[in-house]
Amino acid sequence: MIIRRTYSLIMIKKLSLVLILINFWNATYAQSNDVALNFDGIDDYVSTKYNGILDSGSRSMEAWIRTTGNYDPNNGGKQGVIANYGTMSNTNRFTFCVLFNNAIRIEVGGNGLSGTIAVNDGDWHHVAVTYDPKDSLDYRLYVDGTLDIAGNLKIATNTITTTPLQFGMRIDNINLFEGDIDEFRMYNYALTPKEINNNMDRELCDLPKGILAYYKFNEGKANTFNYSKKTATDYSGNNYHGTLNYFTLSGTASNWITGSGIKGGPSETRIQMFDCDTVISPTKKYKWTRDGLFRDTFESYYGCDSVILVSVDIGNDSISIPQFACGSFTSPLGKTVSTDTIITEYYTSIKGCDSIVSYEVYILPVFDTIIPVLACEKFQTPLGHLVTKDSIVSDSFTSLNGCDSVVNYYVTINRNQYRSDTLMGCDSVTLLGKTYFKSQLIQNTYKTYSGCDSFQTTWIRVNFSQEIPMNITTCDSFVSDAGIVYRETGQYTESYSNVRGCDSTRVYNLKIGESKIIRDTVYSCERYWLRDSSYTKSTIVEWIGKTYTKCDSFHITYLDITAINKDVTVNDSVLFLNETLWDSITWYDCKTSEQVGEKNKASLLIPYTGIFKAKIFRNSCESVTDCYSSERTNKTSKSNLSPIGIFPNPSNGNIEIKGLQKGDFISIHDLNGKSVSFIQDSNQPNMIYDIQATGLVIVKIYSKDLQYNHSELLILE
């Protein structure tokens, strides 16, 4: 009997059994070859890292498929892609699929070649496509080892890879395959019919030259839970392993399912064998007389070796086992010792294999330890006992030698400390060597004399110096906040301390204006408008205005108004002017506007029956009397034609025109004869009018029937 070299008494008892235990299991890399992958036709596809054959290089694809889907677009179906890669453009995509008449088809993006044999009958079919640009018919499609069709495409094959090889879906994420795929292989040359038929019914053990990608689809267990089996292994040795996308990996769909039934493939099996003296290998090729892991090999029917790894136990053995015990030790046969010693015992298995076991016994002590502990706020022992005040707490451990040990913790609890303060400064504050330029809350942690944390909270208050610009416009002088009087325009700077103790600079940009007293004299005829008031006689007007700097301007205006008396006294056939002060007098016929009588005479002897008026000038002012009608019989009466007058003159543009008759029209011209304004029909005897002009203008007034007119020079200021 063999006793394994271990320090466990339980293992020694197990090895005392005389058994031959043979345990078979498959290695991870040798899965059952009767497995395939089902695609649900909704979203399942497998992506790989293989970029495929590029440009116009020769190539072959072959696989086993099973489907009942409808892929014929002439019968309501759509393309089902088995495998493809490349770029979505003409000549650059290489797609192996099922399409017209539910037969296989090869496409290169823009053109393709379709077979004639339907493969959607629910049975397993081997399908293959080969491409040889040197062949007269460069594309050939095979179904179950038989040539279905051969031909050429109308466009060149020039594969460019944007998307690597993938199964079950076209590279633009449409045209999914509904069914099963097994045993896919891709080569860098065109397979011959003989090569296709020789290898299609078995897995490959020795990889042929030219195979670049090989997916057996054997990774899961059929029709069960395979949540962790999301990789399709590449057996070509190039490690282009595939990733399963959107598979449910449970049940009979969208999962690993029963395969196409092809045979072959390597396998590896592990077994355990036991004997007292000698173990004979399963193939009887080898004899083993010592413990160990040995390899035996069967050659399978399909030429792939089946490897058996044999774990050999030889029964007869003598062994010395160190035993460490706490306080005392009892052997399997019941002998007890309490000091270091050697115990020898003899065992016989049910198969008759003898074993001698020597126990080298070492007695280990049990420890009781006291540990003083200083802790902050709380203390938790290694075994999870938590205390928050001074106390004694104990843990029981198993030491490195396997013996129980009691540790007593004498716990003293110290407290953390919390402090806060405020630190202020101008423009910046420095704390613990670090400078802060804005107000903020700073927390620092220190250690107290007891080793506990001291939490210091400091409110940093950064107050800023200020430069305040002040634009001030004032009159005569300005007094600053500091009491300084400034009397001239300029820029002045004063410094203050603000409420937080920081420097504050005020920059006064002063514009100091000067109050003024303005005296002027205004000459006007009859009436003068000043600041919305009308004056008809000479006077002094005082008023307060603002200068351009908005300072007070005291105005004293002397109004010199020339008022002409226009009354006329009639005595027999003579008209007498009551005005005694005048510069010139001219008499006119009111209808013809022709001059009558002598000029500069204050009376007019009526020359004939008619209507007459006088125009009087004094101090550059002009005034016209009313029109008076008189007959040669010396009867004289006042005419109903009123004289026309324009007031004031000079004017600021607001004038009053008196004596207008209905239908009169007014024309205003500058001295060059250019029209400034025109009113065609006036319905008011007295009219207020605003003339938008300056300088000298001529105002002409005409009656509707041209019986009279009036012309006057107007000064606009």
**Residue 598 identity:** E
> How far is Cα 225 from Cα 101, in angstroms, rounded to an integer?
36
Q: 672: how many CB neighbours lie within 10 A of its CB?
A: 5
Question: Which pLDDT belongs to residue 6?
Answer: 32
Which residues touch 205 (CB under 8 Å, ≥6 apart)?
264, 265, 266, 302, 303, 304, 305
pLDDT of 256: 97
Nearest alpha-carbon partner for 704 in 688, 689, 682: 682
Note the Cα 199 to chain centre separation in Å: 57
Residue 705's region, left for phi above 0, alpha for psi from -120 to 50, else beta, is alpha
372: number of CA atoms within 13 Å, CB side?
Answer: 2
Cα-based angle 110, 111, 117 (whole degrees, multiple of 5): 140
The kind and range of the H/E element at 196 are: helix 193-199
Give Cα separations from 611 to 25, 200, 595, 640, 642 (angstroms): 149, 141, 12, 10, 11
For residue 101, what pLDDT is reported? 97
CA-CA distance, 559 to 219, in Å (whole number)? 120
Q: Look at strands 267-275 and 305-314 and give their pairing.
A: parallel
Collect the ranges in the chain with pLDDT lower than 70: 1-33, 264-269, 298-306, 317, 349-352, 399-402, 449, 498-500, 548-549, 572, 631-643, 671-675, 678-686, 688, 702-710
- Report how many helices (DSSP H) and strands (DSSP E) the chain contains, helices first: 2, 62
Q: Specify the DSSP class assigned to residue 201.
A: T
Sign of CA dihedral 194, 196, 197, 202: positive
The predicted structure's pLDDT at residue 709: 59
Question: 586 with 622: CB under 8 angstroms?
Answer: no
Closest CA to 606 of 637, 579, 584, 583: 637
Please state which CATH class domain 644-717 belongs to: mainly beta
Q: Which two tokens stand for residue 248?
A: 């449910």
Distance CA 592, CA 707 (A): 7
Residue among 133, 72, 65, 56 nearest 96 (CA): 65
Task: Please tell me the predicted confidence (pLDDT) of residue 13.
Answer: 34
* Cis amide linkage into residue 282, ω under 30° from 0: no
HEC letters along 480-491? CCCCCEECCCEE
Report the C-alpha gap between 279 and 313 in whole angstroms.
Answer: 8
Please tell me whether residue 219 adopts helix, strand or coil conformation: coil
Q: So where are the chain's domains?
A: 19-26+266-314, 35-258, 317-364, 368-414, 417-463, 466-513, 516-562, 644-717
CATH number for domain 35-258, candidates 1.20.58.1610, 3.30.1180.20, 2.60.120.200, 2.60.40.420: 2.60.120.200
Contacts of 628 (CB under 8 A, 6+ apart): 568, 570, 575, 611, 612, 613, 636, 637, 638, 639
Q: Write out 3-63 in H/E/C secondary structure.
A: CCCCCCHHHHHHHCCCCCCCCCCECCCCCCCCEEEEEECCCCEEECCCCCCCECCCEEEEE
Q: How many Å apart are CA 561 and CA 552, to the nearest integer?
A: 27
Predicted confidence at residue 500, as pLDDT, reads 67
Peptide bond into 266 cis (omega under 30): no
The predicted pLDDT at position 15 comes to 35
Q: How far is CA 516 from CA 176, 300, 546, 691, in A?
A: 98, 127, 9, 31
* CA angle (577 as vertex; 576, 580 as ends), nearest 5: 130
C-alpha span between 256 and 217 (Å, rounded): 8
Bridge partner residues of 150 (DSSP): 140
